[in-house]
Structure 1
Amino acid sequence: MTFSIVGRSADGAAIGVAVASKFLGVGAAVPAALVNVGAVATQSYANLAYRPQALALLSTGVDAESVVKGLIAADDGPVSHRQLGVVGASGPGATFTGSDCHDWAGGVSGDGYAAQGNMLAGPDVVARMQESWLATSDALPYRLLAALRAGDQAGGDRRGRQSAALLVVSQGRGYGGTSDVWVDLRVDDHPDPVAELARLLTMHSLYFESPDPDSLLPLRGDVADEVRARLASTGFTGSDLDDDLASWAGVENLEMRVVSGAIDPLVLAHLREVTHVEQP
């Protein structure tokens, strides 16, 4: 009783899943992804064993359509109630909807994606997800979220809203470059989970992504004077502005946006938000 989209970035470097449901903690059950391998969403009387099985098959070079067929053929449970979507590191995605899934139920797939849902407000939910996916070219987390939002705005799960999740993997894109998990966000119980997921993704970008080099402001002149004064108001009064800024940013969980000799405009905006300094 869920709607989801599995997708791959145009360059194949990122793969992920976005999902929403009137179900507690849907992110704990539906999505799985492995960098350079693929992603799977299992739902509607979900068989959670599909997650490692699908990724194992994809890792051997089996295409998404064959993975779906293999999972269904090997399942000795209520296959007619199952639904899943799979995308690999290349080629088209694939989707399956069992004949006994609660109406409305169905899915669509194409090059690099598959969208599906059951117990939906109607076929427009999946259609709007597909339209959004095809119409956007944002970074994968935002593209998946946009498709999920489109499905939610078309009615989503006809029982209502409760949870949503976003999982995206890409080599070295995790915190500090030490993980392949780029985004792993869950809203387990909320009256508007897709909107809350969007809020969390915005926060994630601020805290965990590196700044745009072209946007950096050199730490000199008026910028340096303002930063020094604002840092001093928080107790950072050392002789080295770079060190003070880095220390303050660490306290604020903004260490991923620290660049020696410059300041990220987003960091400056946050510094202004949390400090008050009289301007001359």
Structure 2
Amino acid sequence: MTFSIAAQVGDAFGVAVASKFPFVGAVVPEVRLGVGAVATQAMARVSYRGTALAALAEGLDASVAVEACTTPDEAREHRQLGVVGVDAQATFTGAECMDWAGGVCGRESSGGYAIQGNILTGPEVVEAMESAWLGSAGASLTDRLIATLLAGDEAGGDSRGRQGAALYAVAPGAGYDGCGVLADVRVDDHPDAPRELARLLRVNDLLFGRPEDVQPLTGALAEEVSARLARLGHGGDDVAEALERWAGEANYEMRMTPDGIDAKVLAALREETA
């Protein structure tokens, strides 16, 4: 019912998944800081997530984590599983999964990945996903995950169509108030779920990302920002204080910095006052 990737970039782990199945984000992905990422699908068994992560937390290999899930399960041949740990990865496709079904896993310098899918248009889906993952080396985990998912969708994806998608990723100190969540984004029922997921991920990044490409609030830029803020009802002599007030109202507080204005916040301000 699904195609997914579980992956690692340094100390960040995540899963991205899409399917002609609603609420897929409630079933397939599970990620734990410092431990790894798991995707359970086909005739998914949700308990695989906890079993696999517990094995990884004990220091066991990803392939052993897969065995811990599948060996005692009489229905294992109807299931699929991807597991990525700190130093190992594995993918499993049961012999009775609906065609086309299969997966691939590997490791690069930044970490491991496991890609798998079932009821796909063909093996080209998994092949396109692996190419997209490897070709995006150097980008952030969330950017790589969504690029990989979109590549699989563009290659044919789920042969039944589109409905649900999700992306869940963690990294130490990331997210709101440093909670560790890079992204927890779901599309539960949408005719173009993968692209809607990509749109929501951009919003997530704007709200929860860290400041980047910061420019000092001096000279012409300070004058521009002050004028735009005044049009939004946030005028005042101190442009930094006015920016802080507007940013809090617009939910951009995570991107605030005493060093100036974040590039994405500036773009949002310009768009709102265009």
Assess same fold via TM > 0.5.
yes
Runs of 4+ in 1 over 6 A off after TM superposition: none
Aligned position for 2:120: 120
What amino acid maps onto 1:267 in structure 2?
Answer: V
Aligned position for 2:50: 52
Deviation at 1:71, TM superposition (A): 0.8
Secondary structure at the aligned position of 1:263 is classed as coil
User: TM-score under structure 1 normalisation?
Assistant: 0.92
Aligned position for 2:4: 4
Instruction: String of CA shifts for 1:146-188, please: whole Å, max 9, x gaps.
Output: 11111111111101110111111111112121x1111111111
Secondary structure at the aligned position of 1:104 is classed as coil
Q: 1:135 and 1:267 mapped to 2: Cα distance? A: 29
Identity %: 54
Q: Specify the structure having the higher radius of gyration (Cα).
A: 1
Number of residue equivalences: 269
2:157 is equivalent to residue 156 of structure 1:
yes
Aligned position for 1:62: 60
Aligned position for 1:190: 190
**Greater CA drift, 30-39 or 249-258:** 249-258
Give the gaps of 5 or more residues in structure 2. Answer: none
Q: 1:161 and 1:144 mapped to 2: Cα distance? A: 18
What amino acid maps onto 2:77 in structure 1?
Answer: S
Deviation at 1:258, TM superposition (A): 1.5
2:81 is equivalent to residue 84 of structure 1:
yes
Deviation at 1:261, TM superposition (A): 4.9
Q: 1:180 and 1:58 mapped to 2: Cα distance? A: 19
Deviation at 1:80, TM superposition (A): 1.4
Q: 1:141 and 1:273 mapped to 2: Cα distance? A: 24
Residues 164-243 of structure 1 mapped to structure 2, 5 A cutoff: 164-177=165-178, 179-212=179-212, 215-243=213-241
Deviation at 1:240, TM superposition (A): 2.5
What amino acid maps onto 1:50 in structure 2?
Answer: Y
Q: 1:193 and 1:140 mapped to 2: Cα distance? A: 20
Secondary structure at the aligned position of 1:210 is classed as coil
C-alpha contact (below 8 Å) 2:51/2:68 kept by paired residues: no
Q: 1:145 and 1:236 mapped to 2: Cα distance? A: 36
2:90 is equivalent to residue 97 of structure 1:
no
Q: 2:175 and 2:267 mapped to 1: Cα distance? A: 24
Residues 27-42 of structure 1 mapped to structure 2, 5 A cutoff: 27-42=25-40
**Greater CA drift, 218-227 or 59-68:** 218-227
Deviation at 1:216, TM superposition (A): 2.0
In the alignment, which of 87, 104, 110 is matched to residue 108 of structure 1? 104
C-alpha contact (below 8 Å) 1:40/1:87 kept by paired residues: yes
C-alpha contact (below 8 Å) 1:242/1:261 kept by paired residues: no
RMSD (Å), alpha carbons: 1.3
User: TM-score under structure 2 normalisation?
Assistant: 0.94
Q: 1:34 and 1:44 mapped to 2: Cα distance? A: 22
